[in-house]
Structure 1
Amino acid sequence: MQVGMVGLGKMGMNLVANMRDHDIEVVAFDLNDQARTEVGQYQARAVASLDALVMSLASPRIIWSMVPAGKPTDATINQLAKLLRPGDIVIDGGNSYYQDSIKRSQLLAEEGIHFFDVGTSGGMAGARANGNFMIGGDQTQFAKIEPLFKAIAAPGGYLYTGPAGSGHYLKMVHNGIEYGMMQAIGEGFDVLAHSPYDYDNEAVAKMWNNGSVIRSWLMELAGNAFSDDADLEKIQGIMHSSGEGAWTVEEALRLHVATPVIASALMMRYRSEAADTMTGKVVAALRNQFGGHAVDPTTGKHDGQVK
């Protein structure tokens, strides 16, 4: 199998490595010269343009776009629509809004090009090995790409979800759930930070992750974060938001579905930009652990709020 990868950031580079581990031939493109050089360590061939990428692949082509959602993805899809041929396949594995994915599917369909919107979960570790994928698109074409996902996903870690838009819709809701789960973990450690007891946060997280009801990968990552910084004093509790939580709440409002936990978690992310809390520190640290998202460093504790 042969795949063209567009975008060699944290996720794209790890996906290439994952594919190469399974003997999938990869031709890769990124605007960044250094990224194109680095991908060579995985025995993937880098090219300097989208045109060269398309020319390097045998028909019918499979091209995976892993660029930021919004305008960068629009630009990539629009250019591919002009370069590809009927029967080729485009996969958008980024965190795109599902309505945008429906429009992109329609745009490519006019050229006879098949489109799959793929929600990608598992963070950088999942991209590197045993990822999780939610796949929307034309069911009649899914068999052509299923071997790819069978190779790079965790056992049972991929699902064909329905027509165009359904993959990114499912990932949107997944991320909304993620917001609520991380907020709850952060709030719990905030209570511990203000308690009369001198808990070892790392030990607590690791103990909870062995046999307790709340054991999870997020709790494992919390233990890792506390191992690096016992009280998370090196970072500010600013919880950045990448959009999916807001989309989930907007969709819930449209459907008249109550999602108070997700909505509250979203509001707390906005609030975190004005007040530094242990909750914010934990959530910021978790986002950094699983996705490599940036944290805002600090030189000490914030005005005595966190012991």
Structure 2
Amino acid sequence: MQMGLVGLGKMGGNMRERLREAGHTVIGYDTDAELSDAESLAAMVERIDHGPQIVWVMVPDTVVDVVIDELAELLGEGDVIIDGGNSRWIHDAPRAEKLATRGIEYLDCGVSGGVWGITQGYALMVGGEEATVAKAQPIFDSLKPASDFGFVHAGDHGAGHFAKMVHNGIEYAIMQAYAEGWELLEAAGHVRSVRETFNSWREGSVIKSWLLDLAVNALNEDEHLEQLRGYAEDSGEGRWTVEAALDLAVPVPNITNALFARFTSRQDESPAMRMIAAMRNQFGGHAVKDVAAAPDHVESAPGEEPAHPAKQ
């Protein structure tokens, strides 16, 4: 297939490469000219020379609507816009309705996989109409893992981003549990090697997971995480998960506590938060804050990581 891809940061750039390796023609656009294949959105769309024209958007939530509005002026009947960023699900249905007045179709797609997705594939959670999903299915098939898992048409508009939001809330809670267990083992002194104990859980244990693998990777690089400050941002989805739970009267105490623990990390040094920072760096390539350079307080809006303003 031919497609456009807007936003060529850590996720978008790797997705472009994976799609190209699968045989698709991808014309990418980024505000960073060194990353971009086209000098403008208009130039990108022009180079998609047979339809339907499909454009995947991978930009921060704060600028999604600006990009989509500009694309709406360039695309036409039967074309498709896919928002694959960490956008808030409540905006998807209004976007779809607005684009439908121009005959443009819309999908929201939650994407998980971090910097490892280029080789291992991405978990994709898609929201939108079935016929539109079918148009883009070859793209989804190329991005997802090679196994039968990793892709779901979650439901109508907003379902993809809602599923990804809950996915990230679960991620917060799992990371927090590993981090607290690591801190407890380190503090007790009874276990000869906490790193090797974590390593032993990677096979045969009911708590084995990819996050555990990444935690061990971090411990192999810095056994006691002495080079990290216990400081972790929240990128928005954890907050949105808790807010949705409040709206639906669903108790999510573990996810809520994990979110609040990240807030705590910005106030006082926390050994557990060094592990959170280490795991985030392992799967997402998030820059690690220098202890001396870190500010006492950082204001952040949901969907943003002001200390690390890289594109998605």
TM-score (norm 1): 0.91
Mapped partners of 1:141, 1:296: distance in 2: 42
What secondary structure is seen at the aligned counterpart in 1 of 2:205?
coil
Match of 1:120, SS?
strand
In the TM superposition, residue 186 of structure 1 has moved relative to its aligned partner by 0.4
Q: What is the CA–CA distance in structure 2 between the aligned matches of 1:9 and 1:147, rounded to whole Å?
A: 23
Secondary structure at the counterpart of residue 214 of structure 1: coil
Following TM superposition, the consecutive aligned residue runs of length 4 or more in structure 1 with deviations greater than 4 angstroms are none
Q: What is the 5 A alignment of 1:78-157?
A: 78-154=69-145, 155=147, 156-157=149-150
Quick one: distance in 2 between partners of 1:225 and 1:127?
20
Report the residue type matching 2:252 in the other structure: T
**Unaligned segments of structure 1, at least 5 residues:** 37-45, 300-307
Q: Does 1:68 align with 2:60?
A: yes
Question: Aligned in 2, Cα 1:61/1:199: closer, same or farther, shift over 3 Å?
Answer: farther
2:54 maps to a residue whose letter is I
Structure 1 counterpart of 2:18: 18
Indicate the SS of the match to 1:28: strand
CA 128–84 in structure 1, closer or farther in 2 if over 3 Å, else same: farther
C-alpha distance in 1 between matches for 2:60 and 2:86: 7
For structure 2, the residue ranges without an aligned partner over 5 or more in a row are 293-312
Q: Which has the higher contact order (CA 8 A, sep 6+)?
A: 2
Q: CA deviation at 1:198?
A: 5.4
Matched, 1:255 2:230: no
Q: Secondary structure in 2 aligned to 1:83?
A: coil
* Deviation (angstroms), 1:128: 4.2
Residue 164 of structure 2 corresponds to: 171
Contact 1:233 1:298 in 2 (8 A): no
Aligned mates of 1:265, 1:54 — CA distance in 2? 42
Aligned to 1:302: none
Moved more, 258-267 or 144-153: 144-153
- % identical aligned pairs: 42
The structure richer in helix per residue is 1
Cα distance in 1 for partners of 2:160, 2:105 equals 15
Matched, 1:212 2:213: no
Instruction: Indicate the SS of the match to 1:31.
Output: coil
Count of aligned pairs between the two proteins: 289
Provide the C-alpha distance between the structure 2 equivalents of 1:102 and 1:76, rounded to a whole number of angstroms.
Answer: 17
How far 1:201 moved relative to its partner? Answer: 3.4
| Structure 1 residue 12: Cα displacement | 0.4
Following superposition, the deviation at residue 14 of structure 1 comes to 0.5
State the superposition RMSD in angstroms.
Answer: 1.3
Residues 50-102 of structure 1, C-alpha deviation per residue, up to 9 Å, x if partnerless? 000111112210100011112x2111111011111111001111000001122
Distance in 2 separating the partners of 1:296 and 1:94 = 24
